[in-house]
Amino acid sequence: MEKISLVVPCYNEQETIPLFYAAVVDVAETMKDQVELEIVFVNDGSSDQSLQVLRDLAQKDSRVHYISFSRNFGKEAAMYAGMKKAAGDYIAVMDVDLQDPPELLPKMLEEIKENGYDCVATRRVTRQGEPKLRSFFARMFYRIINKISETEIVDGARDYRLMTRQMVSSILEMTEYNRFSKGIFSWVGYETKWLEYENMERVAGTTKWSFWKLFLYSLEGIFAFSTVPLAISSVLGFAFCAISLLMFLFYGMKALILGDPVAGFPTLICSIFLVGGIQLFCTGILGQYLSKTYLECKNRPIYIIKEQR
């Protein structure tokens, strides 16, 4: 019999884990003559009782496995570790807060088995219950990154998806340290079917994403999947060289012909600040890529496992 593995990252989720488990077991019951279930929880360095909850679950249900990290490594690392451990023929990644409805699993499996897709992914069509400002910036992020990156990043795409073992193997081959899953899932290619659904509120606990964390994450995405910012700094540099050459000619001639006295302090100071600012901005862009390269070439492990079962 074929097996479906659910990879579930958990960070301080002691309230939601039992609810999630109950919901998934119910759904698995309806699919039991098609696939066997396996759940791989990844405890991403929680500081609450999550690990104890997972130990108890694994004790009483042999379909439950868990990995526990030595500290918080982030959701990306947790997904990677979970996919590595998962043994199923079909592998799903889902959040533990039930914002990724398990009821979609049978439908997703059907799309892969009957209609030959390699991956069934979900995207939410509404951003209900989300702060207005956050939605605005999220939209803007998707617009920008899709302009400057060759990898398509779908607006509203969640990490919730069911994949074939083949696709997961390809993802596991991408061992980069700076992991931006939305890009990685799309970069590996394969045939993806999109299911749309309405945004859901989490069942318990609170979101782990502050606005600032999301902002840094979006920059991560841009620097990991596009080198256009580098090109922008070259173009700016070139444009400013050209402008300064023209100015040189113009003011040189003007001084020679008209014998203009020294003037124009405000213009001078403004242009110094402008050009200085642009230089710093471009150095900053360069620095971003350099820092990513630096972290990549240290070749540190993506996560460290303290305990697993």
Sheet arrangement for strand 119-124? 192-197, 119-124, 157-164, 90-93, 2-10, 35-43, 64-69, 305-308
Query: Among residues 185 and 187, whose Cβ is nearest to Mg ion?
Result: 185
Exactly one of 55, 127, 208, 292 binds ligand UDP (CB under 6 A); that residue is: 208
| Footprint (CB under 6 A) of ligand UDP, residues 187-206 | 202
The region that residue 116 occupies, defined by phi over 0 for left and psi between -120 and 50 for alpha, beta otherwise, is left
- Nearer to Mg ion by Cβ, of 134 and 202: the residue is 202
- 44 makes contact with ligand UDP (CB under 6 A): yes
SS3 call for 189: coil
Cα–Cα dist 154/179, whole Å: 17
Q: Choose between 82 and 229: whose C-beta lies nearer to ligand UDP.
A: 82
Asked if 60 and 53 touch (Cβ cutoff 8 Å), the reply is no
| Tokens representing residue 64 in the block | 């439950």
The count of residues interacting with ligand UDP (CB under 6 A) is 17
What mask of x and - would describe binding to ligand UDP in positions 165 to 184, judged by CB under 6 A?
Answer: --------------------
Among the listed residues 99, 146, 170, 227, the single contact to ligand UDP using CB under 6 A: 99
Rounded to a whole number of angstroms, the minimum distance from the CB of residue 210 to ligand UDP is 10
Handedness of CA 188, 189, 193, 194 (dihedral sign): positive
Which uninterrupted H or E stretch holds 298?
Answer: helix 265-298
15, 38, 97, 118: which one binds ligand UDP (CB under 6 A): 97
Q: Which range, of 6-14, 191-199, 252-260, 287-295, touches ligand UDP by CB under 6 A?
A: 6-14
Which residues make Cβ contacts (< 8 Å) with residue 26, sequence separation at least 6? Answer: 102
Summarize as ranges the residues that interact with Mg ion (CB under 5 A).
95, 97, 99, 202
Q: x/- contact string, 66-95, with ligand UDP (CB under 6 A)?
A: ------x-xx--x----------------x
Closest distance to Mg ion from the beta carbon of 266 (Å): 52
Query: Which partner in ligand UDP, Mg ion, none is near 59 (CB below 5 to 8 A by kind)?
Result: none
Alpha carbon distances (Å) from 258 to 53, 229, 252, 253, 266: 84, 42, 10, 8, 21
Taking CB under 6 A as the rule, does residue 13 contact ligand UDP?
yes
75 phi/psi in degrees, rounded to 5: -65, -35
CA distances from 309 to 19, 87, 131, 169, 203 (A): 21, 13, 39, 22, 27
Q: Which spans of this chain sit near ligand UDP (rule: CB under 6 A)?
A: 9-11, 13, 44, 72, 74-75, 78, 95-97, 99, 202, 207-209
